[in-house]
Structure 1
């Protein structure tokens, strides 16, 4: 008797929190909270204590199984939507912050430093006498490195 009351209170509180979360436009999180809060009442309605006797013919047990199935489907749906949208909220926020400060993304490939495809994009070739002088000009390389934050 007391277990049913506690589980019902936990489920009601969880659904209230889910409603507040949905009001704040966090629908994936709200759906996940709703799924968690349906689990205790679903377990109570399955009649876990009197499982062997009442499960086959109890309407409330089948309703409980239905609620557990609904919670499971909600979990799967939120995972599928999360994967399609490009990761978790924390990952998207970190990627956005990295893009704003001009940092290179962790999964980005290294920039190509080879010669361009058009003759205008190619740097002028240095003569051997210039290279053998007192110092070589590395301003192009320094500019590229500064551009990429290295």
Structure 2
């Protein structure tokens, strides 16, 4: 009963705002506001508001929402654990077996014959002593990593 009254009051207020907007010659906005303000009355007339009010005040409905939440948590938890573990036992075995067999045993052979590679460019000489000193620490790091 209270929910229906509140919805009717919201609709009446929305229609009042739509009339004021139309008075200001903003007819498109007024029509949109009137459409939005008729939605609560339509929900009351279809019985959706009464059903929602009964559901919101029902301990059985809240227990049902709790059970649905627990089911969702179990589902999400098992999916996360499965991803962390690397899939199911059968999936891991299939991946291990697939890793043993070569996909293309002749893949290491060149398919177009022997390819000649161009000669490497000669190393460029340092431009000046100032820039060589600036990059010496970077060169040392690159050499350390084999680059």
- Indicate the TM-score class for this superposition, using the shorter chain for normalisation: 0.3 to 0.5
TM-score, scaled relative to structure 2: 0.33
Greater Cα radius of gyration, structure 1 or 2: 2
Greater per-residue helix proportion: 2
